[in-house]
Copies of this chain bind each other. A is one copy, B any other.
Amino acid sequence: MKQRKLTEDYLRTIYVLSRQKGVHGSDLAKTLCVSRPTVSVTLKSLSEEGFIWLDQGRNIHLTERGLQIAQDIDEQNRFFLGLLTGLGIEAETAAREACEMEHCLSPESFSILKAALGQQSGN
């Protein structure tokens, strides 16, 4: 796994989906719009890197380390989404752009930005 964005997209998706129900590889394939073999290979490397683990029912779970990243990225996503939609940018555009912005800042930089702009975006 080389690209940070790819790891973060998988972890955030697992995090969001797992709040509804058990997450399987096929759910990720659907949500991330990639094939099941691609998911299979990517999950193997995420598992080897200690971000996720699989139970006996093939449900995907985040490790402590994976969860920390997923929560940070998810919070950044919601922050930037709120900021952009709050400025009147169309929902689909804002969603696409927030999905890019969520990968730019370290947790430290993000918390500084959030503290400075928090009031404007409603978060």
| A103 pairs with B100, CB closer than 8 A | yes
CB of A68 to closest CB in B, whole Å:
19
A90 to B106, CA, bound (A): 12
Residues of B within 8 A of A94 (CB): 109
A105 interface residue per 8 A CB criterion: yes
CB–CB B97/A112 < 8 A: no
Measured CB to CB, the residues of A under 8 A from B are: 83-84, 87-89, 93-94, 97, 100-101, 103-106, 109, 112-113, 116-117, 120
8 A-B pairs in the complex with CB atoms less than 8 angstroms apart: A83-B113, A84-B113, A87-B113, A97-B105, A100-B104, A101-B104, A101-B105, A104-B104
